[in-house]
Amino acid sequence: ALKLVFQVAKYFRPEMVLILGDWCDFYKVSAHLKDPARLDRFEDEVKESNKLLRELEQWCRGDRYYIMGNHEFRLDRYLMTHAPEIEPFVSAAELLQLRLNQWRVIPYKEHVKVGPLYVTHDIGQAGIHSTRQALRSYQDNVVIGHNHRLDYHVQGNAHGHPHVGASFGWLGDTDCIDYMHRMKAKSQWVHGFGWGRFDRKRGYVYLSPICLLYTSDAADE
């Protein structure tokens, strides 16, 4: 899934890239119970995450925004709990070399506004209604991450002005999920990403959710 997104980025060379958070899992520093069979190390995850970010950067010819998600926040919470003295000196942004590579970092629980569009990781809700809840909270155009779903809702207001709320799926592996039934994840989560066009003259933004589909014969391509 991620390789396909990189191919799209390489072909179109977008003027702006926004990572909606949870680029990293940070499983080893989460507060959840750990499966001892998982041998992946925190150091290895950071190295791989950096490698993939550097590859993505080759194809983005403009602004880059990295919006911190609740999984990146796992590191902050771990440090605040176990090593508060060094928490101000260690961060996901530093480990991923974001500012060094010209990413604009948006802290978790905050948003960035791109023209008429708000973009954030989440507003505190997950699940099937979370995109609608974000739209209701913002009362404006909003894109969220977090819920692993591919949703697109349009809702008007008292003035008759329509606004869109969207979430663009995820790029993870359901076979690695150990905190919920995998069939639930496979049936409710969608591999995908989002594409947008910002009409600066009119001040409109046009969003397209892109669903990644596979056939059994092409699953490994």
Distance CA 190, CA 181 (A): 15
The tens-digit pLDDT sequence of the chain (221 residues) is 999 999 999 999 999 999 999 999 999 999 888 877 777 799 999 999 999 999 999 998 899 999 999 999 999 999 999 999 998 899 999 999 999 999 999 999 999 999 999 999 999 998 899 999 999 999 999 999 999 999 999 998 888 888 999 999 999 998 888 888 889 888 999 999 999 998 888 888 899 999 998 765 555 55
For residue 13, give the 3-state DSSP assignment.
coil
CB distance 150 to 188 below 8 Å: no
Residues in the chain: 221
